[in-house]
Structure 1
Amino acid sequence: MLQLFINIFLKMFLLLTPFFVVSAFLSLTKDMSKSERQRIAIKVTFAIILACFVLFLFGSYLFSVLGITLDAFRIGAGAILFLSAVSLVQGKEAVSAQEPKEYIAVVPLAIPITVGPGTIGALLVMGAGLKTVPEKITASLGLLCAVIAVGALLIAAGRLESILGQQGLTILTKLTGLFLSAIAAQIFFTGLVSFIN
Structure 2
Amino acid sequence: MLHELFSVYLKMLVLYSPFFVLSCFISLTRGHSTKERKQLAWRVAIAVLIASVLLYLFGRTIFGIFGITTDAFRIGAGSVLFISALGMAQGKSAVQPDSVQQDVTIVPLTIPLTVGPGTIGALLVMGISQPHWDDKLLAIVSIALASFTVGLVLFLSHRIERILGEQGLQIVSRLMGLFVCALAAQIIFSGIKGYLEL
TM-score tier after normalising by the smaller chain length: over 0.9
Alignment correspondent of 2:112: 112
SS at match of 1:176: helix
8 Å contact 2:88–2:177 — kept in the other structure?
A: yes
Counterpart amino acid of 2:169? L
Q: Could you list the per-position Cα deviations for residues 47-89 of structure 1 after superposition, in whole angstroms to 9, with x for gaps in the alignment?
A: 1111111101111111011111110000000111111110001
Q: Distance in 2 between matches of 1:31 and 1:91?
A: 23
Structure 1 residues 123, 142: CA separation in 2 closer, same or farther (over 3 Å shift)?
same
Q: Distance in 1 between matches of 2:7 and 2:62?
A: 24
8 Å contact 2:28–2:100 — kept in the other structure?
A: no
SS at match of 1:102: coil
Counterpart amino acid of 2:51? A
Alignment correspondent of 1:21: 21
- How do residues 26-175 of structure 1 correspond to structure 2 at under 5 angstroms? 26-175=26-175
* Total equivalences in the alignment: 197
Q: Distance in 2 between matches of 1:125 and 1:35?
A: 37
Alignment correspondent of 1:10: 10
Q: Distance in 1 between matches of 2:156 and 2:98?
A: 23
Q: Distance in 2 between matches of 1:100 and 1:26?
A: 12
Q: CA deviation at 1:99?
A: 3.5
Q: CA deviation at 1:102?
A: 2.4
Structure 1 residues 57, 160: CA separation in 2 closer, same or farther (over 3 Å shift)?
same
Q: CA deviation at 1:131?
A: 2.0
Aligned-residue RMSD, C-alpha: 1.0
Counterpart amino acid of 2:177? G
Unaligned ranges ≥5, structure 2: none
Identity across aligned pairs (percent)? Answer: 47
Q: Distance in 2 between matches of 1:108 and 1:5?
A: 28
8 Å contact 2:59–2:125 — kept in the other structure?
A: yes
Q: Could you list the per-position Cα deviations for residues 81-135 of structure 1 after superposition, in whole angstroms to 9, with x for gaps in the alignment?
A: 1111100011111102333542211111111111111111111111111121111
Q: Which runs of 4+ in 1 moved over 6 A?
A: none
TM-score normalised over the length of structure 2: 0.96
8 Å contact 1:29–1:101 — kept in the other structure?
A: no
SS at match of 1:93: coil
SS at match of 1:187: helix
Unaligned ranges ≥5, structure 1: none
Q: Distance in 2 between matches of 1:131 and 1:47?
A: 25
TM-score normalised over the length of structure 1: 0.97
